[in-house]
Each structure stands twice: as C-alpha cells, then as structure tokens.
Amino acid sequence: MKIEIRLTEGTWIFDDSDPLGPPGGFGEVFRGSGECGPVAVKRLMLTADAAAHRELTLGATLSSRTLTNVVPVLDYGQDAQSDRYFLVMPICDYSLEQHLVGRETLEWSEISNVTADVIDGLMEVGDIVHRDLKPGNILWHDGRWKIADFGIAKFVENSTSLQTLKTSLTPQYAAPEQWLMMRSTSATDVYALACIVQEMIVGDPPFTGDFDAIRDGHLRGQPERMPNASARINGLVRSMLRKAQDGRPSLQRCKDIITSAQTDVEATAKNALAEAGLQIATQQAEDDAKRLEEETRILSIKQQGDEAADELLLILNRMFDTITDSSEAANRPYSTAPSVCLGPAELSFEIPNNPPRVHLEGSGWTVYAFSQIKLRCDIERVSYSDESEYTISASLVYAKRPNDSDFRWFEISFWAMNSSFWKQPVALSPNDRNFDVALSTTMGVFSAAFGPHSIDAEDEQSFHDRWVGLFARGASGKLRPPQQMPPPSTFFSDS
C-alpha cells in the first residue's frame, strides 16, 4: 500500500509492501520517493507515546553537517497523520551484510577499505555514539561505505527502557557494557567494529552460537586467534575487543594500524614485535575478563544481599510493631539504631550490611548480608560486684551453610570462656575471624551460645516469640543472667 507522510522538509511516499530488507531491531525500511527522486524511508518501531515527545536530535545534528562516510538524513520526525517516527535517507546500493553473503572472507585491501571508511564515519560524528554498528548498518553509497542509523539506538534508549534496547541490539556485535546495561561510550563502537573486522577476515564474528553462548562470549570469552591475519592485526582486534571500555584503542590508533598493515606484513622485525604485542593483548584480555567476571559476581551478591536485607527489615519491623501495638508505654525513640524501649529495657537492631568477605573458609559458610539484634536492660544488683546493666545480642546472617542448597536468615550468638562478659551471649560480625572459627570444627576462643537457627519463613514466629519474651522479662525487671554457658534453652523461652 502506498503511504504518504509529511515531515519537516516535505512530503514523502513509500510503499509498505516494498521493504528494502528484513525488518531490523528498531524499525523497517521501505522503498519510497520524494521530489528529489527515490529514497529509503525508515519507520521506527516506536509509538509516539513511548517517544514521549523527545526530539529525534540525531536528524538535526546529522542533516546540518557535511558527512562523507555517514548516510545522510534527508528528513526526519513524526508524521502527524500516523503519529509514527520516520527517517528519510537516500537509497543505498547494498549493505555490508548483503555484500558478505556468499563470500567466505574478503581480500585484505577491501577489509581495510571498509574499516577505514567506517572509522572515518565514526570520527566525523565524533560526539555521537552509534551503539548499533553492524554489517546491516554499513551501506555502499556513492562509491564508498557509509554508516546508517546513527543515534537511533540512543533515541530508543532515551524513550524506552534499557531492557528494550538490549533486546533490539544484535547480540553478535553488542559490547560487554551493553550486556551489563552500563553506559556506552565511543569505545562501544570500537568493540562492534572489531567484531565486524573479525567477521570480514575469518567469516564469522568472534562470538557465535545461541543467545546465551554469545552473551557469555562477550562477557567472559576470549576471541580465537585469526590464523589468516598478521600478528599485528590479531593484536589490534584483540585490544579493540577488550572487556574494559577504557582499555580499547582510540579510533585514530585503529585507523593507523589498519591502513598501514598492508605494507607491514613483510617486515619481519616489526612482525616479531607485533607477536609480542599480541601476547600482551591476549594477557590483558584475560585479565579484563577475570575482572569483569568478578565485578558481575559482586554486583549480583550485593543485589541478593540487599533483597535479603529488605526481608529482614520486614521481619524485625513486624516484631517491633507488635511490641508497640501491645503496650502503650513502649516507644520507638530516635537513636543511632532502630530501637524500641519499654521501662528499663531497650531492643535494637543494626541496619543490615554486606560483608566484604563472603566465603568463610574455616566453616564453609557463605554470607551475603548480616545484622545484629541487641537487648539491653537494667538489672537489680544482688551483690556489690554485679553489673547493673545486662546486654545480650545475636548475629543475624543471611547465609548458606556448606550442605544447604539455599540461603536463609540465621540467628546465632556466641560466648567466650575468658571474656569478662561471659554470661552474655554476644553477636560477632562475620568479618570477625572468631565468627568463622566458632562455626568450624577448629577449637577457638568463642563458641555458639545459641543457634544457628533459621529465623525466616516458618521459623519467624519462634524468633519473634523468643525476643519479645526476653524483652518482656527485661522490661519487667525479671531477666537474670544465665548461671551456665551455653545457657540452657529455658533461658531463651522462659516467660
């Protein structure tokens, strides 16, 4: 069907039954025409709602510049009639994707031409990151290779969610930072370009297979050495594919190497140097991958720890709420830690933390979050040497024990024979070595006074009853230090 659209510069007609290729991630491109003759009309897959009146600024930026290696934008914007966003460009002869079909690899001279043209295109619009560089967006027009679809990914990223952007990208060319939904920079385009260069040299981009395999490759994998390329080119591609954005070479450096490589191949001395450079680049790439993996791991631990912390806050708030609900006299004064007071007793807890060291080697516990609960009360002195204050506390840890399959919240308190407070079960932080030793089979200064007992899900009620009971005894002046350690179980459950 012939469709007429009105944009800023004029009226265009396109035929929605005549696509110039299969639809892409951000829209479809159709054969069309205008006063100047035949054109390509790209209809963005984006409702006006999602675009939320954002300006398609790339149109303005690009149409005001003279560009030799970027497909010019003839017109752009929103069509009032259909409410859809459009981009009008000259019709190009074919894409690099189409050019590669049926060709195993390309000659080096052609590879270096394509690459140099693309680098020129990227340098011309220096301040805009393309974000979706791939063979389908490299088009042959007017006797040179030009980059199409500049800035569309950015426009879509601003208008919809990052998640949507991620699913619109082509996995083979997406850089690690895009998989992690981190900020893209011009180094993101350098990475994609390396994938394209490798595809032109060996026939496939560095990471192939199903979606998960490709993702894994970009995040953790090492590209294979290209047997039909010189050490210098292998080294260059390897460094362009570094996982860390700031480790990738500048466009100018890429261009220098690409354009001088053809004359270089014979120079053996340089080749030996390049060989050494390749080895270094390989090592750097491996280091990068390890660092990235570690960062991803820490991020996910932190996320799980934070979610667990929210869950614990709910459990503790339910406990504190029942106390304030059941006694008018109880109050929750503002202090450094969340607390509830009634008469001579104060119950408080620490805001949950993420431990710096997650795996405890001695005990085999894995800890993602921790906190502590503390009861402090005034007690009657029976003899002159008695303390007038009594405190017990317990560690709350979100952990997985060696044979557990899941993480849970546990309560555990400790005691030490030689401690002057030895009749007071105390909390230890999992950052404290004593925590690990007490839970291991090794003899240490501290041992468990109570627990470990899980306190979440079906065990929340007994955790709740235990501490509300201790608090009630403290508030009514009836709490007495236990006469032995570890304390008898009645110490925690007596009412």
Q: Which residues lie near Mg ion (CB under 5 A)?
A: 24, 137, 149
Rg of the chain, C-alpha, whole Å: 33
Out of 137, 245, 395, 413, the only residue in the binding site for ligand ATP (CB under 6 A) is 137
The phi, psi pair for 78, rounded to 5°, reads -105, 135
Residue 28 interacts with, from ligand ATP, Mg ion, none (CB under 5-8 Å by kind): ligand ATP
Out of 3, 91, 116, 244, the only residue in the binding site for ligand ATP (CB under 6 A) is 91
Residue 495 neighbours by CB under 8 Å, 6+ apart: 469, 472, 473
- Between 178 and 372, CB nearer to ligand ATP: 178
In contact, 362 and 439? CB cutoff 8 Å: yes
- Between 169 and 438, CB nearer to Mg ion: 169
- Helical (H) or strand (E) element with 32: strand 27-34
Stretch that binds ligand ATP, among 17-25, 189-197, 429-437, 448-456 (CB under 6 A): 17-25
Q: What is the DSSP letter of 301?
A: H
Out of 75, 79, 120, 132, the only residue in the binding site for ligand ATP (CB under 6 A) is 132
- Between 24 and 217, CB nearer to Mg ion: 24
Burial of 353 (0-12, 13-18, 19+ CB in 10 A): middle
- Between 70 and 261, CB nearer to ligand ATP: 70
Q: What is the DSSP letter of 395?
A: E
- Between 192 and 347, CB nearer to ligand ATP: 192
Does residue 92 interact with ligand ATP by CB under 6 A?
yes
In the shown chain, the binding pattern of residues 411 to 450 toward ligand ATP, with x for contact by CB under 6 A and - for none, equals ----------------------------------------
Out of 6, 9, 15, 21, the only residue in the binding site for ligand ATP (CB under 6 A) is 21
Considering only residues 97-126, where is the footprint of ligand ATP by CB under 6 A?
A: none
Closest distance of CB 187 from ligand ATP, Å: 19
Q: How far apart (Å, rounded) are the C-alpha atoms in residues 149 and 20?
A: 14
In contact, 345 and 293? CB cutoff 8 Å: no
Stretch that binds ligand ATP, among 84-92, 247-255, 321-329, 434-442 (CB under 6 A): 84-92
- Helical (H) or strand (E) element with 253: helix 251-264
- Helical (H) or strand (E) element with 338: none
The phi, psi pair for 491, rounded to 5°, reads -55, -40
Stretch that binds ligand ATP, among 117-125, 134-142, 218-226, 452-460 (CB under 6 A): 134-142
Residue 89 interacts with, from ligand ATP, Mg ion, none (CB under 5-8 Å by kind): ligand ATP
Going by C-alpha positions, the residue among 80, 212, 283, 395 that lies closest to residue 291 is 283
- Between 89 and 236, CB nearer to ligand ATP: 89
Alpha carbon of residue 20 to chain centroid: 36
In contact, 119 and 254? CB cutoff 8 Å: yes
Out of 40, 342, 416, 455, the only residue in the binding site for ligand ATP (CB under 6 A) is 40
Closest distance of CB 30 from ligand ATP, Å: 8
Going by C-alpha positions, the residue among 446, 439, 442 that lies closest to residue 414 is 446
Does residue 95 interact with ligand ATP by CB under 6 A?
yes
Considering only residues 148-187, where is the footprint of ligand ATP by CB under 6 A?
A: 148-149, 170
Burial of 475 (0-12, 13-18, 19+ CB in 10 A): buried
- Between 18 and 380, CB nearer to ligand ATP: 18
Helices 231-240, 268-326: crossing angle, 10 deg rounding: 20
Which residues of this protein are in contact with ligand ATP, per CB under 6 A?
A: 20-29, 40, 71, 89, 91-92, 95, 132, 136-137, 139, 148-149, 170
